[in-house]
Structure 1
Amino acid sequence: MTQFLIITSNKDAASRNIKDKFIISNNFKFERHRSKWHNNQLYKLESFFIDKTDNRILDDNEVFLGLTNERLIFLNDLKLDQTDINPDILIFASRHSSKSGKPALLVHTTGNWKGDIRYGGSKKIISKSSALLLREGYLSLIEHSSNPKLRKFSIDIEVTHHGPTDLDVPLIFMELGSDTRDWNISAAGQAVAKAIISTITRYSRIKEDSNLKIGVGFGGTHYAPQFQKLIRKHDIAVSFICPKYFIRYLDQNCITQMIEKNKEPVDFFLLDWKGLNSKDKDHLMPLLEDFDIPIKKTKDF
């Protein structure tokens, strides 16, 4: 039995929007669980109604919905000793902020490539995650973004950034952005809620029997366009992505974390070759060549 915990926060408008959809929407039936989590009521998914998705997935999986009073990026303690659940996978339902304010639905892994920890986590530490989970999260956001009210929303994968980094459970963030107006759009909250449940169902079907190749990525910009394209068009899943502006902060320990903290064995290193300058390449290639893992360029697929 695999346990999933969807984490929401009272301090996050988009997160509250998504949580409300889980509780009040006819697409989901969450029942009060016997215990609390972070001093708030814990809910358990009993059934759901999303297109042709089969509820039998709940025969082998348990899905819980939790609410914390902490900011999600600073959630460093799950406090599982105060409850009776022991999740195997975490999905954070979060807001996304950007200077452009462009409406977006997004998914990403978490971690810090350098010493800046203003946005949570520890210095030069990345979280545990799963390439398969991130891939299914991205494809699920695409699947559930067809509502005409969301026509201005982009669907994106972000590179690995911010906290938390120290939780001992694989996780991804699924986000609604990018400003106060967007965070409160009901249709957007509903889309992310549906996508989260679809992520769980899709991941549960493929996690033990997948022919997908697993990669970790290097180079490119914050929204990782080459890696998005790779996932959409090929049987490839990617978890951690270090963008071009952090490449020269990488060391052997960072690369080791990318390999060891991904739930699935890594088949290759993936390089956005055009998204790396010559100094980036000079720093990165000797690091990667120390590992017995093939190096491939995104343009090779």
Structure 2
Amino acid sequence: MVKVALLYWREDPAGRGISVAIRDLLNEYGELSGKVSLVELGKNPLTITQDDVDSLGINIDSHIVVLSKHSSESGRPSLTVHPAGNPGNDAALGGSPRRLSYSTPLLMKLLLSMLFKKVSGSDITGFYVGLEATHHGPTDLDNPLCFIEIGSTPEMWVRVDLHRLVGEAVMGALNDFLSISEQSCVVVASFGENHYPARLTRRVIESNICVSHIIARYALKNLDEGIVQQALTKSVPPASMVFIEKNSVSRASENVILAKAKELGIKIEYY
């Protein structure tokens, strides 16, 4: 039986606040009893290891969703979902360099769709609601994992209305995810666009695709076949298609992507 572990760091006001909202909602989702666990972490989730996950009693088959704050220099209000990993040499925010985490494409799609639904039915405006590129740790877990985040300032992290909205989105998405008997979306690895890929977000919302990893254009300078291989294979299930954003992928990067996709027999689409 597939299970989902919801992790939050006790020192993260956004993650902790979302967890409070979810705990209040769990009674409304009795059918998820035994399938969803809410786990408090004593350390930053960006730095957790497989030993940490094992010590928490999380099954190897469980999918993990990290409830988290999001920070940015711009302070842009945001509600985001993203896979984890370091496609470049920088691992300052946890994990290992040049290593991607396993991701959970269908669950990310459902979380994103439910965020859109909840925001559109609320009076919350001025937020970017969407995907983020693959970034930061943890990178070395065997469990498929994603982050759902409130950003991007301390004022946003403590807003109870945002905690409730994200909590409702998480529970709605989990209710759908845990009732689906088989994969129902086409898994795509995406290359290009910026850190907040608005066009890709629309594709995920409006069609039957979901994403394994999103390698933003700023990370393409580090691209090699190893990163492409991970983007295509480190998700549950693995990718069966590649998206290339034609305006932001250089010919050199494109050739690396095409070579690996051809080797694995994976279809390419430009957008």
Q: What TM-score do you get using the length of structure 1 for normalisation?
A: 0.83
Counterpart position of 2:83: 109
Identify if the C-alpha distance between structure 1 residues 158 and 184 changes in structure 2 by more than 3 Å, giving closer, same or farther. same
- Aligned: 1:140 with 2:114: yes
Do the aligned residues in 1 keep the contact of 2:13 with 2:158 (CA within 8 Å)? yes
* Corresponding letter in the other structure for 1:119: L
Cα 1:272–1:205 change in 2 (3 A) is farther
Q: 1:202 to 1:269 in 2, by over 3 A?
A: same
Alpha-carbon offset, residue 280 of structure 1: 3.6
Q: Is the 8 A contact 2:50 2:141 kept in 1?
A: yes
In 2, Cα distance between the equivalents of 1:188 and 1:69? 23
Matched to 2:15, the amino acid is: S
1:260 offset after TM fit, Å? Answer: 2.3
1:249-268 aligned at under 5 Å gives the runs 249-268=222-241
CA RMSD of aligned residues (A): 2.0
Q: 1:278 to 1:191 in 2, by over 3 A?
A: same
Aligned to 1:43: none
Other structure's SS at 1:2 match? coil
1: CA distance, partners of 2:261 / 2:168: 38
Measured in 2, the distance between the counterparts of 1:278 and 1:83 equals 45
Change (3 A) 1:255 1:297: same
- The answer to whether structure 1 residue 245 and structure 2 residue 200 are counterparts is no
Q: Which amino acid aligns with 1:243?
A: A
Deviation at 1:72, TM superposition (A): 1.8
User: 5+ unaligned residues in a row in structure 1: which ranges?
Assistant: 30-46, 50-54
Contact 2:84 2:101 (8 Å CA) reproduced: yes
Aligned residues: percent identity? 27
Q: Does 1:296 align with 2:262?
A: no
C-alpha separation in 2, matches of 1:10 and 1:68: 6
Q: 1:209 to 1:293 in 2, by over 3 A?
A: closer
| TM-score of the superposed pair, with normalisation by structure 2 | 0.91
Distance 1:127 1:9 in 2: 19
> Which blocks of at least 5 consecutive residues in structure 2 are unaligned?
none
- The Cα offsets for residues 216-259 of structure 1, whole Å up to 9 and x where unpaired, read as 10011101122112112211111201011212312222222222
AA aligned opposite 1:274: N
Cα gap change, 1:104 to 1:193, in 2 (>3 Å): same
Aligned pair in 2 of structure 1 residues 71, 149: CA closer, same or farther (>3 Å)? farther
| Residue matched to 1:121 | 95
The one of the two structures with greater contact order (alpha-carbon pairs below 8 A, sep at least 6) is 2
1:160 to 104, 115, 134: 134
C-alpha change, 1:172 and 1:209, in structure 2 (3 Å) is closer
Corresponding residue of 2:11: 11
| Residue range with higher mean Cα deviation, 145-154 or 166-175 | 145-154
Deviations 1:152-174 (A, max 9, x none): 22201001000000111001000
| Match in the other structure for 1:100 | 74
Cα distance between partner residues in 1 of 2:268 and 2:210: 15
Q: Does 1:184 align with 2:158?
A: yes
Q: Does 1:48 align with 2:31?
A: no
Task: Describe the shift of the 1:266–1:77 C-alpha distance in structure 2 as closer, same or farther (beyond 3 A).
Answer: closer
